[in-house]
């Protein structure tokens, strides 16, 4: 585990949130650090998920309210559009990580060789196949959820996925001594865990809004369980987490949440 640098930096909620948004999306905020010190932004990752999921959910809800629900080819177009918008807004950062991760995990025979392959910016056959399969699953699941009227799952998926990435950053070791992933890792303080925890607890608002409790438990429960399992499975072959594996974790956990929402 990396040094507990978060304990040495005071909480700055607005700057920390802005930094999380600037790091995980293309929005041009939070790119400079007050006093030159790294922000405590990891706990705010789930809140970036609320921005991504909430924006899409609000757009879909507004369309249903004023123009009616989407079905058939229109639902499919919306599903494709949502996955594309999420990819563009996040600079396809997670997709690049997914491709590099699977190229390395499936193409290397030793931890060192896997990490070496993951550093290569070129996309191989394993990475391309992983991107295609995940994209198809996401589009199919989002389309089905739109037709089903389960818009809350589309909102919840990015939140749970980024909460999982935050936990992985705090609990799992570093696979490298440098790299993008290292900037997110370190021992969290009470502030960091509280911020992330509130974002997760905010999902209970769907229950208070009338969502059946058993549906919520299944979707969110499987989402959080997959959030614990996925990064551990991905990190085991290389001895720890990397920036690429964080990206893969986000997309795979999103798929688990979206598909579960369709099934239940």
The rounded distance, in Å, linking the Cα atoms of 205 and 84 is: 27
Q: So where are the chain's domains? A: 49-263
DSSP of 37-99: PPP--GGGHHHHHHHHHHHHHHHHHHHHHHH----HHHHHHHHHHHHHHHHHHTTTHHHHHHH
Do the beta carbons of residue 138 and residue 76 sit within 8 Å?
A: no
The rounded distance, in Å, linking the Cα atoms of 112 and 108 is: 8
The rounded distance, in Å, linking the Cα atoms of 264 and 243 is: 32
The answer to whether the pTM exceeds 0.85 is: yes
- Average pLDDT for consecutive 10-residue bins of the chain (264 residues)? 53 90 90 70 96 96 93 96 97 96 93 93 94 98 97 98 95 78 68 96 95 96 97 96 95 98 96
Q: Which residues pair with 241 in a beta bridge?
A: 174
Residue 26 DSSP one-character state: S
Per-residue model confidence (pLDDT) at position 37 = 65
The dihedrals phi and psi of 241, each to the nearest 5 degrees, come to -90, 155
């Amino acid at each position: 585990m990396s040094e507990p640098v978060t304990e040495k930096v005071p909480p700055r909620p607005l700057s920390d949130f802005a930094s999380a948004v600037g790091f995980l999306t293309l929005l041009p905020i939070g790119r400079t650090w007050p006093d030159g010190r790294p922000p405590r932004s990891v706990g705010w990752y789930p809140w970036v998920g609320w921005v991504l999921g909430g924006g899409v959910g609000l757009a879909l809800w507004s369309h249903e309210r004023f123009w009616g629900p989407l079905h058939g080819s229109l639902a499919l177009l919306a599903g494709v559009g949502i996955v594309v918008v999420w990819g563009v807004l996040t600079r396809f950062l997670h997709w690049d990580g997914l491709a590099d991760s699977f190229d390395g995990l499936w193409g290397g025979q030793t931890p060192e060789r896997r990490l070496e392959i993951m550093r290569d910016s070129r996309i191989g056959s394993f990475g391309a196949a992983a991107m295609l399969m995940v994209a198809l699953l996401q589009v199919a699941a989002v389309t089905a959820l739109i037709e089903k009227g389960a818009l809350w799952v589309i909102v919840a998926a990015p939140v749970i996925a980024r909460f999982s990435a935050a936990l992985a950053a705090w609990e799992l070791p570093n696979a490298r001594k440098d790299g993008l992933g290292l900037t997110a890792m370190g021992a969290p303080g009470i502030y960091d865990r509280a911020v992330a925890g509130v974002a997760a607890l905010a999902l209970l608002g769907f229950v208070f809004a009338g969502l059946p409790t058993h549906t919520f438990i299944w979707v969110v429960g499987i989402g959080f369980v997959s959030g614990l399992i996925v990064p551990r499975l991905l990190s085991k072959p290389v001895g720890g987490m990397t920036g690429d594996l964080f990206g893969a974790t986000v997309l795979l956990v999103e798929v688990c949440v979206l598909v579960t929402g369709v099934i239940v």
